[in-house]
Amino acid sequence: MTRTCIFAVDDDELMGELMTVEIAAGGYDVRTYSSIGLAMAHMQAAQPALLILDLNMPEMGGLEALTALHAQGLLERTAVLVLSGLAEAGIREQALSAGASDYLVKPVTGSALRAAVSRLLTGVSVPQAAAGARSARPQSADGQIHDGHIHDGQINPVVTDLMRAYGQPTVARLLKLLSADLNKLQSDLPADREATGQVAHAIKGAAASLGFVAVEIACAALEHACQMGGSIEVLVRQAANACARARQEIDHHLHAAA
């Protein structure tokens, strides 16, 4: 039986990995591309049922890509889901007017992504609560959100659920990619503030999807400092340290399970 083909286009390697992990679990044939040009070169032969597209791409913007894809007749049998960090007023409407079928703003939970994919491919809406427990962050008895670290010898339930669903090596590989991005930020200091903010935003979304709230919070603070003109050197180190602790916890869990 031929599996339904989905193209996912994002220049961020980590986001590509995350989309593959989340969507492939539904039995789809997910093919990731780092640029719209690479995806376009394979669309006619593969004829994907769905194209997941980031708007903020270096080679060609998402809106421009939608126009080009329609002009070449490559979307006649393909729905388009725009998955972007751009939340400004009017952007969603522009994307839908350009031919997108739906628009989600990053960071997006795995359950929301799977629900959107199911809705576009089958017309059936999947309740987010049923699609995956990771749509909600775990809270302790006092109402405080867990931070992704080990609590009383147990990893954050969000992370445990992710490892159970997709395998511990997959989670470790995703964290390795996230950590590499943060380490590069450290090595590039002092860095371009706008570029650093964009990287922090991407890592924040990935950390949210992985359930590592401490990393998410640290990157949110870094992104805010980049936007407001605050000092970023200490915040970059804090984010990198939070990610390093998360990797240590996963490594500990892997060795304990061996």
Q: What is the pTM of this model?
A: 0.61
Position 48 scores a pLDDT of 92
Distance set, CA 50 to CA 28, 116, 234 (Å): 10, 11, 41
Alpha carbon 93 to chain centroid distance?
22
Structure-token pair, residue 160: 């445990």
Give 20 or 140, the one with higher predicted confidence: 20
pLDDT in tens, 143-190: 333 344 433 334 555 556 666 665 666 777 777 777 777 777 777 766
User: Domain segments of the chain: what residues?
Assistant: 5-133, 157-257
Residues 201-224 have pLDDT tens digits of 878 877 776 677 788 888 888 888
Question: Is the CATH code 3.40.190.170 the one for domain 5-133?
Answer: no
Scanning 211-232, the segments in alpha helix (DSSP H) are 213-228
Mean pLDDT, to the nearest integer, of 25-33?
87
Reading the block at residue 23, the tokens are: 């969507």
Nearest to 193 by CA among 234, 222, 155: 222
Residue 181: alpha-carbon gap to chain centroid = 14
| H or E element that contains 81 | strand 79-84
Specify the DSSP class assigned to residue 232.
-
- The reported pLDDT for the residue numbered 195 is 80
Residue 238 · residue 218 · CB < 8 Å = yes
Three-class secondary structure of residue 112 per DSSP:
helix
Q: Is the dihedral of CA 48, 54, 56, 58 positive or negative?
A: negative
Mean pLDDT of the chain: 75
